[in-house]
């Protein structure tokens, strides 16, 4: 972060004196105006609902240019990482700032693999949930509960303890997500296997059972690994900001990640791929698409095209092209090209990409549209989609949390408000008491 040679002069029409504010330049992206002294100098706050124009921190992890359709992890384009690196290499990059050497990758992978088991007592936590409990409810509870088992790594001022917590969270999330699924369907928990890769191990814990041998399909494992890589971090979104805000109070990392999971659960955030697949099921068949499209175009219908367009990306979501390729690979591998649901999805994609109404509004399919189709093809239930998202995003959350803890400028979060309630008033009849 560099201070610009110029300053921002803020003038007020109410007669208040003008003030000069420093301007900071990042490596790339918009400059920012430092308004930390604004209240002290003017007695005024800024008003920015949703923080759409406010930089709450400085970060060197992820950069997004929504107009260009660009997503960078530590400077590397997501298109290159998703094709040339696996998920654990991406994890190492997000945590450490550089891609690992062969030796570093081997050591990191071994470290994560050796921490995939959870304490045996965690089984009793699951028994406290109803069998039909939503997996996200289970994850919020069990991830937060991890802090009760690891008192040896809760000192957030110790970089080594923060590193240990990071490894534990990355390693144990797949185990907990798989346990949430197994508990829901009434099958026995499957212990992780140290001879499998991160993504293969997750699929084993999800779909294996004690009665027969589970065969790992490399095409499906690669698809899951790509889903995890594409969702690993996404700058200062709602759940990441939640993790940072919780962490600013000094809360332990397990509690902070649980807070991020709770935020991700919201349908406006992590539930987008679930909403997209539910939309396809509601449409029902290819024959119903034209009528559905007409409803989408009718502003008074309230019907939305889920999985298309993106709040951040004003053009094409850079992750969508990669996920589209993976989607077709998986459908071909499983022989599902003619499955009614997937034929419906591909036809809807074709119409949306060629209809002037959607093209002019840049409502292209986003990563959630394709990832929902892929996960469904893999046999993952819709209710677990956001859990997979949380598993992927945990590394981004923990990298952002760790960066925040190490930032000497970081303070406990304390947003301000524009108060519009009643001014000071007396309780009726107070003078008669």
Of 93, 91, 78, 22, nearest in space to 55 by CA: 22
C-beta atoms surrounding 119 within 10 Å: 14
Q: How far is CA 106 from the centre of its chain?
A: 26
d(CA 14, CA 383) in angstroms, rounded, equals 53
Does an H or E element contain 2, and which?
strand 2-10
Distances (CA, A) of 419 to 13, 49, 59, 218: 21, 13, 31, 56
d(CA 18, CA 169): 49
Name the residue among 386, 298, 399, 283 with its Cα closest to residue 340: 283
Active-site residues, by number, are 310, 368
d(C-alpha 68, C-alpha 52), whole Å: 18
The whole-angstrom separation of Cα 308 and Cα 292 is: 14
Output the CA angle 72-263-236, nearest 5 degrees. 25
CA distance 86 to 202: 14
Do 220 and 374 contact (CB within 8 A), yes or no? no
> Residues 34, 40, 46, CA angle at the centre, nearest 5°?
55
Q: Are 325 and 222 in contact (CB under 8 A)?
A: no
Q: Are strands 76-77 and 2-10 parallel, antiparallel or unpaired?
A: unpaired
Q: Are 309 and 276 in contact (CB under 8 A)?
A: no
**Would you state the structure tokens that stand for residue 242, as one six-digit string?**
């939640």
């Amino acid at each position: 972060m560099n201070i610009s040679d110029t300053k921002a002069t803020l003038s007020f029409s109410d007669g208040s004196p003008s003030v000069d504010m420093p301007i900071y330049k990042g490596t790339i992206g918009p400059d920012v105006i430092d308004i930390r002294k604004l209240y002290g100098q003017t007695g005024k706050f800024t008003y920015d609902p949703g923080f759409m124009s406010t930089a709450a921190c400085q970060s060197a992890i992820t950069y997004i240019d929504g107009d260009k359709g660009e997503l960078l992890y530590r400077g590397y384009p997501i298109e290159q990482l998703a094709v040339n690196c696996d998920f654990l290499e991406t994890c190492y990059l997000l945590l450490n700032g550089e891609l690992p050497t062969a030796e570093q990758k081997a050591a990191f992978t071994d470290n994560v693999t050796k921490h995939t088991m959870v304490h045996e007592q965690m089984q009793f936590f699951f028994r406290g949930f109803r069998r039909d409990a939503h997996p996200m409810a289970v994850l919020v509870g069990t991830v937060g509960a991890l802090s009760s088992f690891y008192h040896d790594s809760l000192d957030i001022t110790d970089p080594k303890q923060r590193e240990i917590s990071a490894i534990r969270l990355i390693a144990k999330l797949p185990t907990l997500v798989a346990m949430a699924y197994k508990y829901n369907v009434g099958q026995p928990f499957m212990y992780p296997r140290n001879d499998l890769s991160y993504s293969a191990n997750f699929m084993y814990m999800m779909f294996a059972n004690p009665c027969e041998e589970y065969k790992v399909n490399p095409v499906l494992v690669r698809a899951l690994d790509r889903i995890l890589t594409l969702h690993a971090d996404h700058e200062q979104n709602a759940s990441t900001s939640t993790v940072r805000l919780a962490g600013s109070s000094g809360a332990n990392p397990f509690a902070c990640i649980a807070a991020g999971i709770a935020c991700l659960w919201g349908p406006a955030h992590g539930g987008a791929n679930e909403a997209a697949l539910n939309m396809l099921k509601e449409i029902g068949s290819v024959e119903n698409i034209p009528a559905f499209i007409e409803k989408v175009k009718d502003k008074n219908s309230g019907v939305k095209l889920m999985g298309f367009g993106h709040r951040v990306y004003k053009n094409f979501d850079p992750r969508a092209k990669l996920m589209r390729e993976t989607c077709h690979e998986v459908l071909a591998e499983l022989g599902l090209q003619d499955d009614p649901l997937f034929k419906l999805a591909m036809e809807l994609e074709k119409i949306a990409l060629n209809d002037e109404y959607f093209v002019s509004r840049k409502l292209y399919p986003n990563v959630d549209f394709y990832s929902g189709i892929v996960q469904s093809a893999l046999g993952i239930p819709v209710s677990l989609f956001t859990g997979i998202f949380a598993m992927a995003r945990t590394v981004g959350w923990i990298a952002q949390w760790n960066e925040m803890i190490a930032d000497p400028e970081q303070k406990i979060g304390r947003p301000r408000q524009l108060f519009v309630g009643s001014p000071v008033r007396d309780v009726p009849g107070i003078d008669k008491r």
